[in-house]
Amino acid sequence: MHPEIVTSAANRVQTYLDRVMPGADAHPATLHGAMRYTVFGGGKRLRPALVYAGGRLAAVKPDALDPAAAAVELIHAYSLVHDDLPVMDDDDLRHGQPTVHVRFGEATAVLVGDALQALAFEMIASEAGPNVAQRWTQLLANAAGAAGMVGGQVLDLAAEAREEPLSSADLEAMHRRKTGALIRASVMLGASAGTLRDEELEAVDAFARDIGLAFQIHDDVLDVVGTTEELGKPQGSDERQGKTTYVTLLGLATAKQEGQRRFEHAVAHLDAFGARADDLREIARYVVERTS
């Protein structure tokens, strides 16, 4: 069960994306239909929720954050399409539905990811106010590119080819890029749109870094204890692919403890903000208690 703050953010960004994205019959229909299949095919919309929660902390109205929330969800959606490809994780199920390459073919899946990434930056450029568009573009590009998500995916693929497991430090470095960078950017897209002082932004950034890692640790736990029906994707896929995870490295019980420790570190960074940070605290707790 998603908390109300996540459900509300999901509904808001869903409505916005439906309005600004091309219709399924726009030419070429195969591409645009597949794009909408990807974006509206399910998902928690956790990253948009973090954008709005970061904005609340900085006293920014949700209307002003819609382009950033939509853009980060488009980047996330594109990354899942490419992650599922046979040359990456080779998954056939996502959100309980056939993955894009299974439904539309591999070539279309590659192009869907490309188009969603381009649309994310077009959305910021055309929909965001000029004072924040440059800041948002830099944050999102850094999180999505070689310094962030794409670089993390390269490290993940390289790790799969190794005979020995990753060290704890290498695993953390990989996930801070692959998963954590976009979660961190989501929080900072909202927080940076206001007038927080530098030291306040540093505290929010520290929260975002810790909660991104807590998210990944809990994902590793869910891959072991969850079901395919709950997860909406094949359970145990990490084990089948021989990946080093926090569970294979630490054991299930210790991995759960580490996720809880990272959560506690994360919310401690928000102590000075009082009630303004309640949305971020609620989402953080959901991150380590969710079942999918």
Contact in structure between 270 and 282 (CB atoms under 8 Å): no
Report the 10 Å Cβ neighbour count for 28.
Answer: 10
Interatomic CA distance for residues 13 and 281, integer angstroms:
20
Q: How far apart are CA 78 and CA 47, in angstroms?
A: 14
pLDDT tens for each residue of 229-285: 766 766 667 767 778 999 999 999 999 999 999 999 999 999 999 999 999 999 999
Task: Locate 250 and state its tokens.
Answer: 């630490």
Q: What CA–CA distance (Å, rounded) separates 254 from 74? A: 34
The pLDDT score that the predictor gives to residue 55 is 97
Strand partners for 97:
94
Residue found by looking up tokens 């539309």 in the block? 104
Query: How do residues 66-86 score in pLDDT, each as one tens digit?
Result: 999 999 999 999 999 999 999
pLDDT digits (tens, 9 = 90+) for 97-129: 999 999 999 999 999 999 999 999 999 999 998
Mean pLDDT of 201-206: 98
pLDDT band at 216 (very low <50, low <70, confident <90, very high): very high
> Confidence band (pLDDT; 50, 70, 90) for 228?
confident
pTM exceeds 0.85: yes
